[in-house]
Amino acid sequence: MTTLAELARAGDAIATTSSKSEKVRLLAQFFVAAAEDELAQAARYFGGGVFPAGDQRTLQVGGAAFSTVLRAVSGADEASIRAAWRRHSDAGDVTGDLLSRLEGRSSETISIRDLDRAFAEIADARVTRERTARLTALLERASPDEARYIAKLITGELRIGLREGLVEEAIGVAFGADPAAVSRAVMLTGDLGEAALLARAGRLDTAAPRWFVPLRSMLATPVAGAEEAVARLGEDVWVEDKYDGIRCQLHRSGGEAALYSRDLKNISTQFPEITTAALDLHADVMLDGEILAFHDGRVMPFHALQTRLGRAAPGAAVMSAVPVIYVAWDVLMVDDEVLIDRPLHERRGRLEALGVPHPLALAHLERVRGAAEIDRRFEDARARLNEGLLLKQPDSPYTPGRRGLNWLKLKRPLDTLDVVVVGAEWGHGKRRGVLSDVTFAVRVDGTDQLATIGKAYTGLTDAEIAEMTTLLLDITVADHGHYRTVQPRIVLEIAFDAVQSSARHKSGFALRFPRIARWRHDKSPADIDTLSRVRDLANAIENERVQLVDQGGS
Ligand code: AMP
């Protein structure tokens, strides 16, 4: 048996040293000593996870539920809990601290297996009260150190200086396995636990993707321009539109089909028209692509798709008001043949050979040569009000979970707006103690009125943030604690990727990915943009944006 107390001791020792090789050595030692049936779970825990890959269970213990539990277990009042948060800013340390202050408390030995069972029971609870009761019971059995690690696991952050790569290295060291083979097994199975078991059994070479266990998505690296793209990819480049929908992996095997989001959640029930079409394919497949709202042969902007998100079983009315398509750009498996190591040009050939039926479609692909052609394609994409392009190396493999250099994304902000700051919030983490999060507004045409349109917190240098904090304190009109209303004096230029209607802000619009492009010392609040300009931009995107897709054949 391996105990949670042993895990906590190992975790603390790992946290104490800053040497990566020492962290790896300590963790490897723990893995070697771990009980036969507790190794997989321990590896997942050290990776910050609780359940195996592809397992759709979640603990569903949010901040509020956790605070309730903490109050019940520690008997501490609101003020002491708040004070503990100020001291530590970490759920684990707050929990450990509060419990260590209790006298005459006894605890029981908790094994990794016990913890696994308790987490399963919490995930299976049907209502919040049942969930918090089960967590309370678990923490009541735990020592302060054990409770500290339980809280860390629940919040998904161990904060002991371990990245997944170090856990993989430790598995290699523990069982004398090639680190690259461990890494590959994690990439294919998505599961540190399974990789640890395979490494111990000397069977890492048998690691393979499984149906209905989503692989992590391959990611793209941003580049500034066509020259840089050619330097990285070579002269022959494959170009696709950068679609603005939701990333989705489609698995179809036998009589079943499932869809997984980028964060590996099963979203199948939200898009029944896609899973149904997938069942008509003539082969089992694992596809990578994007779900898009699609009407009258055109891709709709992201906000159209938003009405479909989170609806478990959309009714016929919603499905016909917002039809969707699945645009595939890659195929990772066909029947039981794993294709991820095959070159992209071969995978694309296999994808085309599938003859996907509507509403499945293929990404529109153009094969170009040299920077000038990429530039031309980028200008075309911009003329279609498209956010940008994906550039891919035709000979490259598919690398799950990696932001490699074989896929590049070329995008520039769609536009910028000059706005005025009307409020500010204190920042978190590195930005603690400065007013780094600003709320900004545009002018209502022909009036002195301002209408808020968004918030931003990135783009300024630390020095500018410090300078702005001093100014914001000076021009504060009302201090609401975490938020201050300020006189409209500071003009910023905000870059963004799209404008969409939104009830969140007074203007009736919101910006996608707003970031501060510049502090416009040279402009006064009289010079800022107006609501009608925002409306024009939103209408242009709504009515004129075009993203190209290739509709299927059969
Ligand atoms: P970003 O979200 O800006 O990091 O861009 C990466 C995302 O672009 C991916 O996660 C995909 O969801 C999306 N994407 C859009 N079009 C493509 C494409 N043709 N190939 C790959 N990814 C794409």
Burial zone of 508 (CB within 10 Å; 0-12 exposed, 13-18 middle, 19+ buried): middle
Cα of 388 from ligand 1 centre, angstroms: 10
Q: Which residue has the higher pLDDT, 489 or 481?
A: 489
For ligand 1, say whether the CB of 101 is within 6 Å of any of its atoms: no
For ligand 1, say whether the CB of 238 is within 6 Å of any of its atoms: no
Q: Which atom of ligand 1 is nearest to the CA of 262?
A: 10
Asked if the model's pLDDT at residue 341 lies above 90, the reply is yes
Cα of 389 from ligand 1 centre, angstroms: 9
Pocket test of ligand 1: the residue of 287, 348, 409, 512 to mutate, having most ligand atoms within 8 Å of its CB, is 409
Pocket test of ligand 1: the residue of 239, 243, 364 to mutate, having most ligand atoms within 8 Å of its CB, is 243
| Residue owning the nearest CA to atom 20 of ligand 1 | 390
Q: Which residue has the higher pLDDT, 87 or 373?
A: 373
Q: Which atom of ligand 1 is nearest to the CA of 220?
A: 6
Lowest mean pLDDT among 96-105, 373-382, 543-552: 543-552
Whole-number Å distance between alpha carbons of 145 and 136:
16
- Supply the pLDDT for residue 209: 94
User: Phi and psi for 152 in degrees, rounded to 5?
Assistant: -60, -45
Q: List, in order, residues 6 or more apart from 408 with CB less than 8 Å away.
A: 220, 221, 222, 223, 229, 232, 233, 390, 391, 392
Average pLDDT value over all residues in the chain: 92
Six token digits for residue 291: 């779900």
CB 517 within 8 A of CB 416: yes
In single-letter form, the type of residue at position 243 comes to: Y
256-315 per-position pLDDT tens digit: 999 999 988 999 999 999 999 999 999 999 999 999 999 888 888 787 898 898 788 899
CA dihedral 351, 352, 356, 361 (to 10 degrees): 90
Whole-number Å distance between alpha carbons of 142 and 309:
39
For ligand 1, say whether the CB of 290 is within 6 Å of any of its atoms: yes
Cα of 533 from ligand 1 centre, angstroms: 28
Pocket test of ligand 1: the residue of 217, 390, 550 to mutate, having most ligand atoms within 8 Å of its CB, is 390
Place of tokens 């059995």: 141
HSE-CB at 469 with a 13 A cutoff on CA atoms is: 18
Domains with residue ranges and CATH for the chain: 4-155 (1.10.3260.10), 219-411 (3.30.470.30), 415-540 (2.40.50.140)
Segments of 457-497 assigned E as strands = 476-479, 483-486, 491-496
418-441 per-position pLDDT tens digit: 999 999 998 877 888 899 999 999
Nearest to 422 by CA among 514, 511, 488, 515: 488
Q: List, in order, residues 6 or more apart from 382 with CB less than 8 Å away.
A: 412
Place of tokens 């931009």: 537
- Supply the pLDDT for residue 552: 61
- For 384, which DSSP code? T
Whole-number Å distance between alpha carbons of 19 and 175:
21
For ligand 1, say whether the CB of 364 is within 6 Å of any of its atoms: no
Q: What is the mean pLDDT of residues 5-20?
A: 96
Asked if the model's pLDDT at residue 448 lies above 50, the reply is yes
Asked if the model's pLDDT at residue 226 lies above 50, the reply is yes
CB 293 within 8 A of CB 304: yes
Place of tokens 């020792």: 13
Whole-number Å distance between alpha carbons of 189 and 191:
5
User: Phi and psi for 407 in degrees, rounded to 5?
Assistant: -120, 125
CB 496 within 8 A of CB 415: yes
- Supply the pLDDT for residue 554: 43
For ligand 1, say whether the CB of 292 is within 6 Å of any of its atoms: no
Run of H or E residues at 304: helix 302-306
Q: Tell me if residue 72 falls in helix, strand or coil.
A: helix
100-123 per-position pLDDT tens digit: 998 888 889 999 999 999 999 999
Cα of 220 from ligand 1 centre, angstroms: 7
CB 364 within 8 A of CB 548: yes
Six token digits for residue 492: 């910023």
Cα–chain center distance at 240? 22
For ligand 1, say whether the CB of 294 is within 6 Å of any of its atoms: no
In single-letter form, the type of residue at position 443 comes to: R
Q: What percent of the chain has pLDDT over 90?
A: 73
Nearest to 482 by CA among 422, 420, 428: 428
Cα of 232 from ligand 1 centre, angstroms: 18
For ligand 1, say whether the CB of 90 is within 6 Å of any of its atoms: no
For ligand 1, say whether the CB of 243 is within 6 Å of any of its atoms: yes
Q: Which residue has the higher pLDDT, 157 or 449?
A: 449
Catalytic-labelled residue, pool 20, 23, 152, 242: 242
Place of tokens 């994409």: 381
Q: Which atom of ligand 1 is nearest to the CA of 290?
A: 12
Q: Which atom of ligand 1 is nearest to the CA of 409?
A: 5
- Supply the pLDDT for residue 522: 87
Centre a 10 Å sphere on the Cβ of residue 144 and count the other Cβ atoms it contains.
19
Can 409 be counted among the known catalytic residues? no
CB 514 within 8 A of CB 502: no
- As a 3-state breakdown, the chain gives helix, strand, coil percent values, each rounded to 5, of 40, 25, 35
Q: Which atom of ligand 1 is nearest to the CA of 327?
A: 19
Cα of 245 from ligand 1 centre, angstroms: 9
Cross-strand bridge partners of residue 500: 510
For ligand 1, say whether the CB of 409 is within 6 Å of any of its atoms: yes
| Residue owning the nearest CA to atom 16 of ligand 1 | 242
Q: How far apart are the first and last CA of the chain?
A: 57
Whole-number Å distance between alpha carbons of 219 and 226:
19
Whole-number Å distance between alpha carbons of 473 and 485:
10
Q: What percent of the chain has pLDDT over 70?
A: 99
- Supply the pLDDT for residue 173: 98
